[in-house]
Structure 1
């Protein structure tokens, strides 16, 4: 399998840290060659390349063609295709590539979609192939130890499930992107809790928060015939936000997108909860 870095110009340009993206790609290739990958490395790979894929879709497709009033100017079939797609992780590129390949719509928008998919699909499939090759725990150290900060402790954030430094018994301040759901904040709620190795409190909060959000999203979907009364869109030269009411000619397209987003988030949460429930059921404090 060829995963040379020069084959990912769009993803690499979108990566928030090109060096971490390069390292993630190298870890994927090493995992395939070795037939195994450490879980901590696998989680890092999914996060780094998944974030790059989401940002690449936004930078190459969403922002130039659909944002700032562009969406309203595009053909209905292109908008319907776009509304059916949610790129929140690398895994989403697999289903997205199939949808884009089936589209017969012409034009630069579709070509941009195809460019992202053509580049990201091999990487998405490579990462997916490693799912059943994950080995728990960190690899034993080899060779002389690298100098480390003796006061630094790194453990698992119970909310975003990434390796984060611990400060004063709780997680150090860090940003947050909910895998496969697109919740993005400047500060992860995990900073309120002790590491997952020490306490399950943060994981319990996450599960409760997801269940509450799932209920709200399902309620919104069930009431879609009458709610919301309006949706926001951007119009005019400056892309000013305006209310689009149900009797507006633009409503059908905006509403279709709104419903597609509800369905996508409901499916993502329902997919995530069983895994988190099992994680909580199997949770035990780390042996000191």
Structure 2
């Protein structure tokens, strides 16, 4: 895969190029122009950051998130579908290998590569997983190397728009993005569910105060994640009692099938694989949420709790103005 296969010019890249990641790039090209644009934009952020020795926080996060989503989808298309979904995995050991090395983003690549290198299993599935992980490791390293060189804030705009003097932006306690605040609550916004990869119309953080003022929203996010994991684990425990499954037929249409259907066993194995992957990703997210809670401190005045003490050692400009 070379830059010529992309519809977008990448001749200005100097440190990393799309051609450095032929499997991932080939998958992106097959998805269409919009995916190419997001992919190249993310890589350009990383390439520019490596060249400058610094990267804006918003650019680093946007590129990391975009690349992680592409990695998740590419793994499903290049590894899961041809080798592990249904009864294509020929042994329990191989099926377990597929589960052990399955990555849902850049954050899992290094550990998965170590497991893939260590296994004594051989065959097309193992080779395919190793090839993709070997390709993704340098990309992961490049993204991670910039973490120590993050610069807060956006790139200065040469022609800035007039700012609303009354607008106050703080951290959403559930999705952790910078969101405007009104009446001591986050304004309405959507976000991508970390455990489902789906864009939602409304983040649950809109019901809570900014993270700088309260940990209520963060605690609610933890509870929501714990409940989600419990539901999925219960679903998995009741696998043998399922009576219907939703699958796509040869024309891409979603249909309902029952245990009498000839494809039931294969579909049930696919479903189990996806649920286990979902649980693993959710547990990783839960650990990250709890880590945030363990170091949380109130850093701004909360008008609803005027007597509460808060840490003023941070940026004084972030208080006491309240909206």
| TM-score above 0.5 | yes
Query: Does residue 56 of structure 2 align to residue 43 of structure 1?
Result: no
Over the aligned positions, Cα root-mean-square deviation in angstroms equals 4.4
- Whether contact under 8 Å (1:78, 1:105) holds in the other structure is no
- Whether contact under 8 Å (1:53, 1:89) holds in the other structure is yes
* Offset, 1:42: 2.2
* Offset, 1:3: 1.2
- Whether contact under 8 Å (1:155, 1:164) holds in the other structure is yes
CA distance in 1, matches of 2:295, 2:234: 29
CA distance in 2, matches of 1:167, 1:11: 42
Superposed, which structure 2 residues align to 1:103-182 within 5 Å? 104-107=121-124, 109-135=125-151, 137-139=152-154, 141=156, 144-146=158-160, 156-163=171-178, 170-178=186-194, 181-182=195-196
Larger Rg: 2
- Whether contact under 8 Å (2:45, 2:63) holds in the other structure is yes
Partner of 2:206: 192
- Whether contact under 8 Å (2:218, 2:293) holds in the other structure is no
- Whether contact under 8 Å (2:196, 2:278) holds in the other structure is no
TM-score, normalization: structure 1? Answer: 0.69
Q: Taking structure 1 as reference, are residues 197 and 236 closer, same or farther at Cα in structure 2, changes over 3 Å only?
A: closer
Partner of 1:7: 20
Q: Which moved more, 1:97-106 or 1:52-61?
A: 97-106
CA distance in 2, matches of 1:95, 1:153: 40
CA distance in 1, matches of 2:248, 2:56: 51
Unaligned runs of 5+ in 1: none
TM-score, normalization: structure 2? Answer: 0.63
Taking CA–CA contacts closer than 8 Å with sequence separation of 6 or more, which of the two structures ends up with the larger relative contact order?
A: 1
Q: Taking structure 1 as reference, are residues 211 and 236 closer, same or farther at Cα in structure 2, changes over 3 Å only?
A: closer
Partner of 1:98: 114
1:208 to 216, 223, 240: 223
CA distance in 2, matches of 1:148, 1:265: 41
Query: Does residue 287 of structure 2 align to residue 271 of structure 1?
Result: yes
Partner of 1:29: 47
> Deviation per CA, 1:182-218, whole angstroms, max 9, x where unpaired?
453543434734684776454342133224445x279
* Corresponding residue pairs, total: 273
CA distance in 1, matches of 2:258, 2:54: 52
